[in-house]
């Protein structure tokens, strides 16, 4: 295990929940799922959806308070949860989160690379190096480091499922989002390569492009009055997705054996909104 580098936070186990009784097991019974950025928003929604399908969970989350709140919700569902406070924009943070998960559960079956940051949204000519690199570290390198660290454990379990995150910001080339868009398309490319390399090992690798009413989206929309309403009018299904019911449940499908013949794909969870799908 690589030690923390100078200036990097030392990952710590924040909490370990205990399993309850009387849970009606679902599609992910006895599966172990590691989710980055599970403290709020889409990550929280996925965590709840997977727990309701019977999975035990591990979080890699930079914010200890949001991690505690989501962990308490998982415990209330009768599932086990390990929450590791770390920075997924560092190799040591990702490797430590995987190691803590394996120590607690004995392995990993599902990896959800949800954590992301758009460190700076600005015209191309105004983007600075440091926020560009931070966006790449959290989004691209974090996904890469988690995939590398989880790979031997997935192989030892006979395979598993990885779900990575793309974005319509990339496929539609949204102005002021160069760094984030570049990161998300890099992740989709990594997804396809990994699906080809690891398929014979029973490891399925897919990506999703979600549109969800997360805290981040609501905060962004508050800066532009009426944005959410205009957005909903452009979505054929007429609403912005719910983090758990619309995004989490679809991810639970990709994580489950129901999707055992699905790999190398991008699933668009956007209510039909995407104007450019490549």
Task: Compute the Cα dihedral for 18, 21, 22, 25 and give only its sign.
Answer: positive
The reported pLDDT for the residue numbered 114 is: 97
- Is the distance from CB of 84 to CB of 14 less than 8 angstroms? yes
* CA–CA separation, 170 and 26 (whole Å): 34
Shortest CA distance to 42 belongs to which of 208, 232, 272? 208
Q: What is the pTM of this model?
A: 0.89
Shortest CA distance to 114 belongs to which of 250, 264, 14? 250
> Can you name the residues that pair with 81 across neighbouring β-strands?
57
Name all domains of the chain by residue range, CATH numbers in brackets: 12-268 (3.40.50.720)
* CA–CA separation, 244 and 212 (whole Å): 9
Q: What angle separates helix 227-234 from helix 215-222, to the nearest 10 degrees?
A: 120
Please give the average pLDDT of every successive group of 10 residues along the chain, which has 278 residues.
Answer: 46 44 68 97 97 98 96 97 97 98 98 94 94 97 98 98 95 91 97 98 97 76 73 88 96 98 96 70
- Alpha helix locations (H) across the chain? 41-52, 64-76, 91-105, 129-136, 142-156, 168-171, 178-198, 215-222, 227-234, 249-255
Which is catalytic among the residues 180, 231, 261, 273?
Answer: 180
Active site residue 273: no
* CA–CA separation, 48 and 144 (whole Å): 25
């Amino acid at each position: 295990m690589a030690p923390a580098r100078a200036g990097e936070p030392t990952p710590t186990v924040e909490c370990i929940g205990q399993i309850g009784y009387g849970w009606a097991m679902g599609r992910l019974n006895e599966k172990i799922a590691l989710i980055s950025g599970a403290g709020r928003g889409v990550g929280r929604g996925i965590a709840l959806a997977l727990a309701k399908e019977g999975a035990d969970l591990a979080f890699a989350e930079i914010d200890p308070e949001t991690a505690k709140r989501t962990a308490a919700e998982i415990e209330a569902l009768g599932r086990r949860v390990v929450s590791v406070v770390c920075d997924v924009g560092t190799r040591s943070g990702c490797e430590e989160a995987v190691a803590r998960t394996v120590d607690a559960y004995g392995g990993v079956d599902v990896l959800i690379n949800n954590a992301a940051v758009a460190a700076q949204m600005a015209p191309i000519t105004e983007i600075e190096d440091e926020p560009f690199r931070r966006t790449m570290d959290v989004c691209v390198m974090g996904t890469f480091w988690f995939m590398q660290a989880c790979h031997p454990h997935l192989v030892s379990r006979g395979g598993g499922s990885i779900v990575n995150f793309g974005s319509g910001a990339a496929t539609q080339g949204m102005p002021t989002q160069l760094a984030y868009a570049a990161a998300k398309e890099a992740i989709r490319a990594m997804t396809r390569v990994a699906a080809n390399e690891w398929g014979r090992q029973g490891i399925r690798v897919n990506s999703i492009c979600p549109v969800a009413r997360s805290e981040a989206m609501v905060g962004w929309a508050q800066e532009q009055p009426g944005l959410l309403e205009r957005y909903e009018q452009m979505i054929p299904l007429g609403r912005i997705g719910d983090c758990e019911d619309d995004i989490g449940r679809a991810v639970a499908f990709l994580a489950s054996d129901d999707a055992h013949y699905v790999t190398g794909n991008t699933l668009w969870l956007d209510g039909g909104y995407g104007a450019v799908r490549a």
